[in-house]
Amino acid sequence: MEQKIEFICEWKTGNYTITELCRSFEISRPTAYKIIARFENEGYEGLKELSRKPQGLHPNATQETVVNGILSLKEKHKLWGAKKIRKLLYNDFPDELVPSVLTVHNILKKHGLVKPQKRLRRVKPIHPIFDPKVCNEVWSADYKGKFLMGNKIYCHPLTIADSKSRFVFTAKGHYRENFDSAKAEFKRIFRKYGIPKQVHTDNGSPFGSVKAIQRFTRLSYWFIELGIMPVYSDPSHPEQNGRHERMHRDLKAACAKPSAYDLKAQQRRLNRFVKEYNNVRPHEALDMKTPATVHDFKTRPFPEKITNFDYGPEMRVLKVTKNGSVRWGSYNWVYVSASLQGKYIGALEMGNGIWRVFYRNVFLGYFNENELRTKEQSVRLETNLV
């Protein structure tokens, strides 16, 4: 500003030409004439720097109604990011008015609705070992970690979901994690949605046990009786069921922070989460579709009555006693599993005293009858031949 005033003062003296003034102030002739024109029209006020901000609304600016829609959706879904909120904008606005994901994110950030995330160490991604190609091929199940409710009692939510469509069949709050509670909820879901080919779980009770043969439990053998194969993640590797664990993170944020007062109120929260997760929340792994629109509800019906299984004539059929063993000969015992007490297994001879043991059509393990020479000696099943 001072240089502009000095330039005008020198020009008004008439002692210098425009060329000399431009050389002295190191400006171009168009700039000099522009400064002189502003001074003649507005006086010294015209020499002030003008704002470069556009006078009108930028043609690519997001409309106010769209901005209000973004803020309204964020208020309703506080835990959702820009991608999911943008997907829902198509339900209320024409396609040409919906901004990009980056624009939605910037609008949320401008209004203080974006929480900074911690920078995580980049690691090599681990893909699930059970990657189904169609719906109802593999279901995943788990007890989400317990949390205290307002009445100081722990809630243990049991979750069951389809591994392909991510459709959550249930999030049922229980007071404890046991066989009876889990079986009752599985039975209700099987009656409503049918049964899958496999159920993928971790190794915790009541789903599996690392000390049991093939990690099978009472619940596992009930699955086998229904024609469902239980499969497990490796011990201490929850990332192998990462899809289910990711859903648990959303469930915890929506239902456990904070939790409800009692189990009845907590169950209402869990039900609302399942409904929104299946029908409203877009899923990136599903091309921003919802699990309910992707899932195939046609599957095998639940058999109300367990049918008897006939072992082949080449097998020796044995009944498991209360202590989980089968009698072999007059004095010897082979321990199988306490979860199979009262049920029948089949033993198939392979030669050299080696026998393969099955429960129905599922292989359990081996035992060597040569180790039973000593009177009243017992052996356990092994999963591998030594």
Fold of domain 138-294: Nucleotidyltransferase; domain 5 (3.30.420)
Q: What integer pLDDT is reported at residue 373 of this predicted model?
A: 59
Write down the pLDDT at residue 370. Answer: 85
Residue 222, both tokens: 């009930």
Q: What is the pLDDT of residue 120?
A: 47
Strand partners, 365: 357
Which of 236 and 118 is assigned the larger pLDDT?
A: 236
0.85 surpassed by pTM:
no
CA 358/CA 350 separation, integer angstroms: 13
d(CA 141, CA 120): 27
Q: How confident is the model at residue 123 (pLDDT cuts 50, 70, 90)?
A: very low
pLDDT digits (tens, 9 = 90+) for 310-328: 999 999 999 999 999 999 8
Pairing relation of β-strands 354-359 and 362-368?
Answer: antiparallel
Q: What is the pLDDT of residue 301?
A: 95
56 pLDDT tier (thresholds 50, 70, 90): low
The span from the first CA to the last CA of the chain, in angstroms, equals: 93
Is pLDDT at 177 greater than 90 in this prediction? Answer: yes
Question: What is the model's pLDDT at position 74?
Answer: 84
pLDDT score of 163 more than 90: yes
Q: What is the 3-state secondary structure (H, E, C) of 353-379?
A: CEEEEEECCEEEEEEEHHHHCCCCCEE
Close Cβ partners of 135 (under 8 Å, ≥ 6 residues apart): 162, 164, 165, 167, 294, 295, 296, 299
What is the predicted pLDDT for the residue at 76? 84
Establish how many alpha carbons lie within 13 A of residue 40's alpha carbon, considering only the half-sphere containing its beta carbon: 8
